[in-house]
Structures are given as structure tokens and as C-alpha cells.
Amino acid sequence: MLSGLVIVDKPQGWTSHDVVGRMRRLAGTRKVGHAGTLDPMATGVLVLGINKATRLLTYIVGTSKTYSATIRLGESTITDDAEGDITASRSAAAVTEDAIRSGVAQLSGEIQQVPSSVSAIKVNGERSYARVRSGQEVKLAARPVTIHRFEIHAIRRVDDGRVVDIDVTVECSSGTYIRALARDLGEALGVGGHLTALRRTHVGPYSLEQARTLEQLAEELEVLDMSAAARALMPNRELSDAETTEISFGRRIAAGPAAGTADAATAENPAAAFSPSGELVALLADAGSFAKPVLVFAPDNEKQAQ
């Protein structure tokens, strides 16, 4: 059975669900999932899991992401990106480069961010964007996110300076909305802002260099096998033959070398355990002097360990 990750370069105009549907046909299986939605406007890295590898997706979703983006100052839209109608226009001619750089600095590090109201966040069981489209006013609560890097590459004045386009790179924690950064930068500068381009270049350890377009994948389905995917994603532990046997049956073994430290493996951040032949056997969490399996991938034991 084909199992592994597929790193897709998502095309513009496609939803993440569209890409999953296409991959189900290419891989010949219904068991396909993705590790974090990309808006239809966005392009770039979308990590898909096939069959057994769908069990790795939960550990990928929470990893940091990196984006290349263009922010336009001087125009606000209902969606905070170029897909929505313009709701306000204010000349950005008086906004200085120093003010832009100061605004970016204020939106760096640990911040409280209010997600875009036109998002997939559920409010009383209904998607926020559905409420907005039905004419309701939606106010979402701020949530903590971390902007590890917010780097300006170019500042371009367009239409005699009425609008300003800023090319940036953003490296951020999971759950960050780049279009909300564009909105908040524009609001802080008093001219409004929205996102005009977005390309995701990294999801955790997986990069755009590994990604393939859907056309390329239709010609040759490149799958990152389970062992290689897990080695890149989380701390590694090499097992002996005896440990491999014990873990394959869901039994615990001695704790890893990091047990009792801040780097100890946990159920939320487990270690990937490999047999002497290099095969991914399980994900392990340390508990006292023992390590116990969180998930077992051995061929004869594919149920989640209890």
C-alpha cells in the first residue's frame, strides 16, 4: 500500500480540498489529507499525507510556516486580501519607509492577532466566512501567534504613490493569518492594507524545493516515504532489534536519552523510532524511566497504541 507525504506546489485558484481530491485520483485511494489549509489565492507548499502517512499530519500542522507575500497599503478589502471587494481607499503617499519599518517591527515577535473575519474559524458551529457572507457582523477573539521573521525586501510606490506595495518574507507560528498582518499594518499606518500575493515556501522541514506541481505529479507521483518524512519532522531514536520487537507489539521500552529534560519526547511532540534497517516503527513519548508508543507503524500492528 502506497503511504507517504506528497509535497504539492498548490496552484492559484485551487482550494486545499480541490488538491486533496485531485491527489485521491492520482494515488488511487480515498485516504488523503492535508497539513494546513492554503487560501485559494495562495500558492506554494501544501503537504499531503497518503494512507498511513495521514497519521503524521497532526504533527505537521503545528509546525512553523514561511511565506513570501506582497502587502498593499492604501486599500482595505472585505477579505483582507485581493479576492475581496475594496471597502476603503486612502492615499498612502505620506507613509514613509521608516514608518513602514516601524510598523513591521511592532508586528514581530509574540503578538495578539485577530483572524480575518472571512476565515474558516467556527463561531457557534458555523464557519466565520459563511456568517459574513450572509450579512452578519463577525468579531473574532484575538489569539497569540509568534512572528519569527518579518523581513522587508522591497517597497514600491504605485499610482503616483497613492498605494504602496511591500514585498516581504514572513516566518511564523501555526495559526498566523498573513492577510491579517497586512490588514493590521495598514491600520497602524492609518491607510488600510490588504494582501495581494502569497506563496508558502516552507511548512516545517518541507520546502518549495521539494514541491511538485499537480501536472508534474500526474506524470510521476513523487512520494516522500514515511521514514524520510518522520526523520525530517521530529527527533529520531534508533532502536535495537529487541526494542523494535517490543515496540511493534505496543510494549514500552527504556526512556530515551533526553528523558527528564526539556527535550524529552511527549505525546504532543514525540520522537520517531526506527528499526536497525531504518524503517519507521513508531512514535514514542517518554514517561519517567520508560518510553511508550503513541503510534505504532509496524506492518502487523497498525492500530494506535493504548
**Angle, CA 22 vertex, CA 20 and CA 33 arms, to 5°:** 20
Q: Is 130 helix (H, G, I), strand (E, B) or coil?
A: helix
Identify whether 39 is a catalytic site residue: yes
* Residue in the block written with cell 511493534: 248
From CA 279, how far away is CA 156, in angstroms rounded? 51
d(CA 201, CA 208): 5
Q: Which of 39, 80, 184, 286 is catalytic?
A: 39
SS3 18: helix
The DSSP element (H or E) to which 230 belongs, if any, is: helix 226-233
Give 254's strand partners. 290
8 A C-beta contact, residue 236 and residue 258: no
Contact (CB, 8 A) for 223 and 20: no
Please, which residues have CB within 8 angstroms of residue 293's CB and are 6 or more apart in sequence? 247, 250, 251, 252, 273, 282, 283, 284, 305
Which residue's entry shows cell 514600491?
Answer: 156
C-alpha to C-alpha distance for 189 and 156, rounded to whole angstroms: 16
Q: Are 294 and 270 in contact (CB under 8 A)?
A: yes
Residue 232 host element (H or E): helix 226-233
Whether 95 and 118 have beta carbons less than 8 Å apart is answered as no
Contacts within 8 Å (CB) and 24+ apart, 94-97:
95/164, 95/189, 95/190, 95/191, 97/155
Q: Check: CB of residue 83 under 8 Å from CB of residue 40.
A: yes
Task: Give the residue numbers marked as catalytic.
Answer: 39
